[in-house]
Structures are given as C-alpha cells and as structure tokens.
Amino acid sequence: MLVLALLLLFWAQSARADVWVYMDEKGDAHFSTRQLDERYELFSHSGQGFDTGAPPADGRTAREVAVPTSQRRLQIFFDVSPSYKSVRHHLREASKRHDIDLELLQALIATESGFDARAVSPRGATGLMQIMPATAQRYGVRADRRSTVQAKLFDPDVNIATGARYLAYLIKLFPGQLELALAAYNAGEGAVQRAGNRIPNYKETQDYVATVMRLYTLLKPPVLVTELRSTPQRLRMELPGGAARRGNMLAPLPSTVATNDTTERDY
C-alpha cells in the first residue's frame, strides 16, 4: 500500500477551501476562496472527491481515477481563454527550462493576475506573474533608453521567464515543501523563515497558497492508482480544496539573500 499512501499524501497536502470564479469580458477566469462580489459563482466545493466507483469486472487492480466535474470545467476555462492561449508557449518553455510543472505555472498565474498581462498591483507588482521591478532587476531585467523595467515586465516572455526563475529558486530553497515556496513567492522568503519555515500568519498569503495548490491539484492529469492487493476493492481519494484572491504581491528578494541561479538574462 506504499504507492497508494504516497498518492494520498500528495492530495492531502493541498489546503481545503471552496473555489469561486467569475469570467471577465475578455473570457478570462478569476478565482477566489470567497465570493468577493456578485460576479463570483461557486466553482468547486472542498468536499468534492475522486471516486473510482465499482472495481473492474475483469479483476484488474490498476484503475484510472475518475476526473471530477470541476477538473473538466477548469480545463475548459483555460481552453477558451484567449489570454492563456496567447502565452501558452511561453509557459511550456519556462516549464522545461526550470523543470517546473506547466500546471503549477498555470495555477500560479491564474491566481496572481487572471492571465492579465497588463495587471499592476497598488504596490507596483506587474504583469502575469506579478513581479516587483526590484525583483526583476535581480534576475537580469534592465531599463534602457527605450523602456523601463516595469514596461518590460508587461512582455509575457520577459515576465514568465523572470517569474519562473524566481519560483524555481524558491522551490530549491524549500525542497519538498511546495506550499512554503508559494508562500515565499507571495510574502517573501524572509517572512517564511521568520515564521519558522511555516506559512506566515497572513490571511492573504494563506489564501494565496490555498488557491494555487487547489488549482494545481485540479489541473494535474488523472492519477493512475495501482493497489498492492490481490483483491480489487473500491478506492476513494479525497480531493483537497483551496483557492484565494488574485493580484497578490511579489516581494523583492532581500539584498542579503543570494540566488542559486547566478546566470543573468538581459532584456
């Protein structure tokens, strides 16, 4: 049962929460843990689960877990989103270059900006992955006579390349603890470290981590579960919940923290 236990552990790591969503006039989806206003409708309930149903009639012990309705609906949101489709190739490139799941990048950007490449937060976090100009400068984005750093971050190629590089650094900084890497992306790694390597007690950060983890869980392909028993039986995997408001801030790296990736990319 070791394989099954590991799979169940993966699902259990995601936070529980309901997911609310609204579609804007451009056809892009925006997600939240709460109904922020009347535009938001309940998308997925935290109690929803995977269920394989009855065992196969031929007695096989390997079965594919059924895809929940919310997973199919979520994929439709991306399939019809013109903003997502226009940057999909940038996500694939960043996924391969930094060895980050494509679905994780999808979930993070959906939470950060709703795939609005022109999004700017009140604090100046910019573009798809809501990057602060100071952070971008640390990763090789330079101002020149033609353009400021913030203006360059409106370019999806620059934004995704920079944000994925920063996320890859955080994943290495907190190995095997994806939720902490996401918390650091939102609040800064210093905040996570000061909290004793835990998610800081900030409502925004807690909601943010729950959002990304929930969407990431839904976007992953169905799991093929192999039971290590001779007698097939019904298997039920609980689908964790979670979602959060969008437009979170990406704090700049503290000047005393050096990144693991020292190669700069000039824009």
Domains of the chain: 2-238 (1.10.530.10)
Q: Which residues contact 92 (CB under 8 A, 6 or more apart)?
A: 102
In this prediction, residue 91 carries a pLDDT of: 97
Does pTM surpass 0.95? Answer: no
Check residue 222 and give its pLDDT.
53
Quick one: pLDDT at residue 221? 59
Listed as ranges, residues in the chain with pLDDT below 50 are: 1-15, 47-67, 224-264
At 9, give phi and psi (nearest 5°): -65, -40
Among candidate residues 122, 124, 90, the one with its CA nearest the CA of residue 106? 90
Strand ranges in 107-265 using DSSP code E only, listed in sequence order? 224-226, 236-238
CB atoms within 10 A of CB 67: 13
CA dihedral 61, 73, 103, 267 (to 10 degrees): 170
Backbone φ, ψ for residue 247 (5° rounding): 80, 30
Residue 64 confidence (pLDDT): 41
pLDDT at 132: 95
Query: Which residues are part of the catalytic machinery?
Result: 112
Q: Which two tokens stand for residue 109?
A: 């950007």
Residue 60 is predicted with a pLDDT of 44
C-alpha closest to that of 28 among 128, 133, 96: 128
Q: CA-CA distance, 59 to 76, in Å (whole number)?
A: 34
Res 78: pLDDT: 85
Strand intervals (E) in 124-240:
224-226, 236-238
What is the reported pLDDT for 191? 97
Q: Is 203 within 8 Å of 34 (Cβ atoms)?
A: no
Rg for the chain, CA atoms, rounded:
19
The reported pLDDT for the residue numbered 260 is 44
